[in-house]
Amino acid sequence: MSDHLDDLPIILSVEDEYRLQECYQLMLKGRVRVLSAYTVKQGREMFRAYPKIKLIVMDGHVPAHEGATTIDLVREIRASGFTGTIIASSSNVHFQGALIREGCDDTCTIKCEVPEIVLRVLGLSVD
């Protein structure tokens, strides 16, 4: 018997703010499976572990404890051949611009709007 989560589109959220991750989980529950990564290292590991990821939300600045930044991670993800949408989620125009240059498709400056953008990009109705 298939779990309902197996049928949902998978997104990866690389965001170090726990409240935002919880917000994304709650607002997308039952419609999208959200993988929450709080560090660049976790984001890289989850991206490699889940080949069916459809969309990625990338915070502009996640502390780079392991040396790599989210900008580096976007570059790695695009180099892997990923063709899905990557949304740069940052209110900092410097980070937005750098993420767009490295392969993000769109930006979101107001992070509480991320779930609505995710649903729209995935072609799901926004309630």
Instruction: Give residue-wise pLDDT tens across range 6-41.
Output: 789 999 999 999 999 999 999 999 999 999 999 999
Question: Would you say residue 88 has pLDDT above 90?
Answer: yes
- Whole-model pTM: value is 0.92
pLDDT of residue 8: 96
Question: Would you say residue 52 has pLDDT above 60?
Answer: yes
pLDDT of residue 5: 61
d(CA 51, CA 84): 11
Residues 6+ apart with CB under 8 A from 106: 85, 87, 88, 117, 121
Question: Would you say residue 124 has pLDDT above 60?
Answer: yes
pLDDT of residue 59: 94
Distance set, CA 26 to CA 19, 22, 32, 115 (Å): 10, 6, 10, 9
Torsion from C-alpha of 69, 73, 75, 81, nearest 10 degrees: 180
Max Cα distance, the chain (Å): 47
Mean per-residue pLDDT, 57-70: 82
Mean per-residue pLDDT, 56-65: 84
Tokens representing residue 50 in the block: 């889940």
How do the domains of the chain map onto residue ranges?
A: 4-120
Q: What residues does 88 pair with on adjacent strands?
A: 58, 107
d(CA 37, CA 57): 10
Q: What is the CATH number of domain 4-120?
A: 3.40.50.2300
Question: Would you say residue 1 has pLDDT above 60?
Answer: no
